[in-house]
Structure 1
């Protein structure tokens, strides 16, 4: 009995230690910074209302939406411009807070434009709805990119510098976990509430975008209250700043001129530029640290570059399975809540495990949890008398905790090796590379949606202009699931950074 009692006591101690890890790590000085991350996570507030509006209003195929998604990742790939500015250029006496305020202004402008176009107000009547939607999406992304660059930079400037180097590294890791928890909590609560409101205001969807104006206010509040360690203003890195500006101009020209294979050309150029700039920036680190970072980047790049099914899966769920705004809100709530719990419980696991082990685990789990969706396409759930909504709820609940871990690992590694005086540029370049991987994912998704053509019904002026056809969705699902399992595992085994 004594042994059993001791065993139970030890088990409870372990459970309590895991549960209390994020709470113990939290400091009052982190809270304003976490509010900026919360604002970023709140960007999902309008997601469900927006997805239904796009499906019902805009004549865009799954491949078109995947292509738009690629262009929307471009601002994330040129984060080095903002990073260089944050390191070196003061605006109204600040190289931190002013940039968050500018980002908030852009996000506000985007919300106002979406209110106008969704509500069909006369101010945008002479413009096509598609054009307004695309422009609003672009400026919102730019606003969030600016705020994200500053938030990542500030995450290294709220620490207690009187600690030992080991304690500082541990605090940096804890801040990254707390930042993801704040982001996850925002995705959970605002995604759920936004989805429920999308159902309530399905006939007046502009109301959801009106309420979304709280998002820039949160980031303004957070950055206004944050207290940072004094940081020197670095000299402008002309290679990074002007190289980034030249690349941004090149991207705009390529997109505006509609050059054939423009996205592919931009992808290759952006990858080459970021790798060159990154290689120059890490030249001062030890040879071992450089090797470790490069191997980690290869692994995570491939992991993030895997294709997705795209918009066609959600269309099928709406048209065939009958999922509505309210149900998508429930899925969002479950996904966000369990992801948050998973991040909370895995805080120690994330910090102590090596990247290769975690990503192999995530890849295998992700593959297994993709199979129920594939099975639903073939009506397997009906053979067992299980409703599609039940399968979706359970699958979403199981899959949710694994979505953020790779990003936390990468940001922790980046924070540990961030060079003094170059932190903004450092975070921006590393994040740019990860977002170029998402561009690769978007390109692969676009190609697959052109091979496996899936369409929802499009009605214009009472006439069906595009017929509903989900016959090729099954093949698309299988290709995505299999490739997303085999390729990452091979790369992880070969380039596992823990072997160095």
Structure 2
């Protein structure tokens, strides 16, 4: 029995050892299999990761090539935009020469100069018509480059004619109007091309920055050079020096990448009945919008805000008049430098609005700036009565520069809310056409402002050598800026109707566009207001008369 138990134990140990050895062998085999599977999985993951990396690399390369292609596509547009808006700024050279030529050579009175300046900017009131022609009536198979080239050539010839035959006042006035029409038409075409080619926000912001920057570069540079150029070359030399600038726009027009219209499309667009139907439909929509309460009252306010009289021409005569006649005797070089500083101050005014006032109610800003403009507009009285010398000990030039800087900055802060108001009241579907119509109404108000100023200047008897009644003229014109406040409730009602996210977006959009590039090029491209400055312009309202 004992022997049997011993044998059983030995057999059990032997079997247990064999089983454990077999188990270890099996575990080793399983581990090797698992290791093989893991290695295969790692290899597959590495291959998939490499494929994904290659795909990402290809996508990045495609995006870079597409971006590079877009940049190459937009180079022609950038050149055109830069030249068109640089031209608008560089016209400061011709404007200063025009003011001095009217005053010194043609011996035109201050009242007549104010009236003529209103005529000079009349083409800016019909920009929607220019846009309609460019959109619907192609020339030689093109809608844009053909009109841009013609505008450049006409602008060049008008300045050449101005420099050669300006001794006749009739020819001089006509050539000024033609040159303004050429610049306005080029502006319309450039705006149209920018809208067509701005496929995304980045492209639009970049093009706006180019246009805004080029205009300021042209304006500041021309203002700095205008005085010396006028002294060395005379008014005719300044006009002749300006003539090549529109011609550059004409040459650049041929670089625009525009597909020519087919003969079928050309015939369709030239069909009189289709044009008539399209024009009637668009005019019907515009008329319905303009006559609605939501748009009509803000439109009237915009007109009244701009239409109050200006005495800029009268003060220009006083600033540049001989000291023996009671004037300040400022020379052209100083006037040009003061204008350049005013442009810089205007830019800072736009930046400050964008930074500090973009969320403030429109009615609050418009009412506040109108009240401040009435006060600032009276500051020239200090120069008229020489209080700056007697009580402050400040030279006339120093005080005049400070006055101009304050007016320019305040002018831009008060001007942007008017643009925002115009953009807010435009209903969907006809935003572009209605905004252009509102800006034409705005520009028409600028012409009315000039003509009213001319009548008041004549009534008060302010001439090139008689400034006896200049003080009451300035006071009356400055206080007239308070008149639109009487209908400020119309702006408040428009704010109530437009309250919401869209309202805030409109404010931010206009402020951003003006701080990176003024998107609202339907407006006459220089400032004009009730408050006069020494270069013959006023600086509370935007109006392209210098």
Same fold (TM over 0.5): yes
Q: Measure, in 1, the Cα distance between the counterparts of 2:412 and 2:274.
A: 29
- 2:94 is equivalent to residue 46 of structure 1: yes
1:307 to 306, 309, 317: 309
Q: What does residue 178 of structure 2 align with?
A: 139
Q: Measure, in 1, the Cα distance between the counterparts of 2:103 and 2:479.
A: 28
1:369-408 paired onto structure 2 within 5 Å: 369-383=376-390, 384-404=392-412
Residue 64 (structure 1) shift: 1.7
1:93-492 paired onto structure 2 within 5 Å: 93-117=141-165, 129-161=168-200, 179-201=211-233, 204-220=234-250, 223-225=253-255, 280-281=285-286, 283=288, 293-319=295-321, 320-347=327-354, 355-383=362-390, 384-404=392-412, 425-426=433-434, 428-456=436-464, 468-484=465-481, 486-492=482-488
Q: Measure, in 1, the Cα distance between the counterparts of 2:274 and 2:215.
A: 29
- TM-score normalized with structure 1 length: 0.70
Q: Residues 62 and 329 from structure 1, CA distance in 2 versus in 1: closer, same or farther, beyond 3 angstroms? A: same
Residue 477 (structure 1) shift: 0.5
- Say whether the 8 Å CA contact 2:120–2:176 is kept in structure 1: yes
Q: Residues 301 and 150 from structure 1, CA distance in 2 versus in 1: closer, same or farther, beyond 3 angstroms? A: same
- Say whether the 8 Å CA contact 1:85–1:241 is kept in structure 2: no
How many residue pairs get aligned? The number is 410
Q: Residues 237 and 437 from structure 1, CA distance in 2 versus in 1: closer, same or farther, beyond 3 angstroms? A: farther
Q: Measure, in 2, the Cα distance between the counterparts of 1:404 and 1:105.
A: 33
- Say whether the 8 Å CA contact 1:83–1:424 is kept in structure 2: no
Q: Measure, in 2, the Cα distance between the counterparts of 1:176 and 1:361.
A: 29
Residue 341 (structure 1) shift: 3.2
Structure of larger gyration radius = 2
What SS class does the counterpart of residue 157 from structure 1 fall into? helix
Q: Measure, in 1, the Cα distance between the counterparts of 2:86 and 2:346.
A: 15
Residue 407 (structure 1) shift: 6.0
Q: What does residue 57 of structure 1 align with?
A: 105
Residue 378 (structure 1) shift: 1.6
- TM-score normalized with structure 2 length: 0.65
Q: What does residue 31 of structure 1 align with?
A: 78
- Say whether the 8 Å CA contact 1:83–1:428 is kept in structure 2: no
- Say whether the 8 Å CA contact 2:145–2:256 is kept in structure 1: no
- Report which stretch shifted further, 325-334 or 148-157: 148-157
**What whole-Å deviation, never above 9, does each CA across 1:120-166 have from its counterpart, x for those lacking one?**
xxxxxxxx5212211211211111221122233334223225xxxxx
- Report which stretch shifted further, 433-442 or 178-187: 178-187
1:3-14 paired onto structure 2 within 5 Å: none
What SS class does the counterpart of residue 144 from structure 1 fall into? helix
Q: Measure, in 1, the Cα distance between the counterparts of 2:272 and 2:483.
A: 38
Q: Residues 241 and 330 from structure 1, CA distance in 2 versus in 1: closer, same or farther, beyond 3 angstroms? A: farther
Q: Measure, in 2, the Cα distance between the counterparts of 1:309 and 1:236.
A: 46
Ranges in structure 2 where 5+ consecutive residues have no aligned partner: 1-70, 322-326, 498-546
Over the residues paired in the alignment, what is the CA RMSD in angstroms? 3.9
- Say whether the 8 Å CA contact 1:107–1:139 is kept in structure 2: yes
- Say whether the 8 Å CA contact 1:104–1:220 is kept in structure 2: yes
Q: Measure, in 2, the Cα distance between the counterparts of 1:429 and 1:347.
A: 25
Q: Measure, in 2, the Cα distance between the counterparts of 1:227 and 1:378.
A: 59
- Say whether the 8 Å CA contact 1:381–1:387 is kept in structure 2: yes
Q: Residues 498 and 54 from structure 1, CA distance in 2 versus in 1: closer, same or farther, beyond 3 angstroms? A: same
**Which structure is richer in relative contact order (CA contacts within 8 A, separation 6 or more)?**
1
Residue 335 (structure 1) shift: 0.9
Residue 418 (structure 1) shift: 8.7
Residue 368 (structure 1) shift: 3.2
Residue 322 (structure 1) shift: 0.9
What SS class does the counterpart of residue 65 from structure 1 fall into? helix
Ranges in structure 1 where 5+ consecutive residues have no aligned partner: 1-26, 119-127, 162-167, 246-272, 457-467
Residue 367 (structure 1) shift: 2.9
What SS class does the counterpart of residue 371 from structure 1 fall into? coil
